[in-house]
Amino acid sequence: AMFSRYSCAIVLALLASGACIITGPRTPATRAVLPPNECAWRGATPKQSSLPLRADGTPDYSSIDASPVSKVLTATIRKLLVKEVGQDSDPRPWTEFDGLLNAVREVNDMDGTAEQVQRRARNVFEGILPSLGLAWVPAFWLKLVKPSAPAWLQHYSFFLVFQTLFPWLMGPMTGVEEVEVTLPVTGQKLLLPQAVKAERCRFLESTQCASVCVNTCKVPSQQWLGQDFGMPIHIQPNYDDFSCVWRFGVEPPPLEEDEAVMVPCFAKCDSDYQGERDAYRLRAKRMAVFDGLVETADIATAKAFGTVSSEGGTTEGGSALNDLNLRVRQRQVSRSGKCWSVAEDRSEQRGAVVQASGETIPLRWEGNGQEEDKEE
Q: Give the per-residue pLDDT at 20.
A: 54
Average predicted confidence (pLDDT) for the chain: 77
Q: What is the mean pLDDT of each run of 10 residues along the chain (376 residues)?
A: 44 50 45 74 92 94 96 96 89 92 87 86 95 96 95 96 96 95 85 96 93 92 96 96 96 89 84 46 39 35 39 71 86 73 51 54 36 36
CA separation for the pair 201, 59 (Å, rounded): 10
CA 207 to chain centre: 13
Backbone angles phi, psi at 246, to 5 degrees: -105, 110
pLDDT of residue 309: 37
- Nearest CA to 113 among 322, 367, 365, 366? 365
pLDDT tens digits, one per residue of 246-267:
999 999 999 888 888 888 888 8
Question: Are 200 and 244 in contact, with CB atoms under 8 Å apart?
Answer: no
pLDDT at 6: 44
Calculate the alpha carbon distances from 192 to 22, 26, 30, 153, 250 in Å: 10, 14, 20, 8, 16
Cα angle 76, 80, 81 (rounded to 5 degrees) comes to 115
* Measured distance CA(95)–CA(201) in Å, rounded: 19
What ranges do the domains of the chain cover?
37-302
pTM over 0.85: no
**pLDDT value for 108:** 84
Q: How far apart are CA 162 and CA 172, in angstroms?
A: 10
Q: At residue 151, what is the residue type?
A: A
> For 304-355, what is each residue's pLDDT tens digit?
444 333 344 568 878 888 888 888 888 888 776 667 544 444 555 555 555 5
pLDDT of residue 40: 93
